[in-house]
């Protein structure tokens, strides 16, 4: 199943990465409360945001077996705590 929320978040992360990269390339200065913020954190943020976006968009296209794990865990809990199956309860 395709997850539309992960697509929206992936695109949003890419837009933020492009904004950070643009600030780094064009040298846009940011001054808040009289303090000038350096440019190098924008380069790091661009790399991290782009990596997260790519990871999320790749993960979106994979088929997951995690639901099988949760389903098996749920069945395990049912058998452990059901009085008909486990007379010790």
Please report the pLDDT score of residue 44 as a whole number: 96
Q: How many domains does the chain have?
A: 1
Q: Is the dihedral of CA 64, 66, 68, 71 positive or negative?
A: negative
User: Is residue 14 assigned to a domain?
Assistant: yes
For 9-48, the pLDDT digits (tens) are 999 999 999 999 999 999 999 999 999 999 999 999 999 9
User: Is residue 17 assigned to a domain?
Assistant: yes
When pLDDT is cut at 50, 70 and 90, the band that residue 87 belongs to is: low
User: Is residue 8 assigned to a domain?
Assistant: yes
Query: Domain limits at 44?
Result: 4-64
User: Is residue 73 assigned to a domain?
Assistant: no
For 42-65, the pLDDT digits (tens) are 999 999 999 999 998 888 777 666
Nearest partner of 53 among 5, 15, 10, 21, judged by Cα: 10
Q: How distant is the alpha carbon of residue 67 from its chain centre?
A: 18
User: Is residue 19 assigned to a domain?
Assistant: yes
Report which DSSP code applies to 62. S
Residue owning tokens 């933020």: 16
């Amino acid at each position: 199943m395709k997850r539309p929320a992960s697509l929206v978040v992936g695109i949003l992360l890419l837009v933020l990465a492009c904004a950070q990269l643009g600030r780094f390339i064009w040298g846009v200065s940011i001054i808040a409360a009289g303090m000038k913020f350096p440019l190098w954190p924008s380069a790091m943020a661009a790399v991290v945001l782009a990596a997260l976006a790519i990871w999320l968009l790749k993960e979106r296209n994979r088929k997951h077996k995690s639901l099988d794990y949760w389903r098996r865990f749920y069945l395990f809990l049912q058998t452990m705590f059901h009085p008909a199956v486990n007379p010790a309860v």
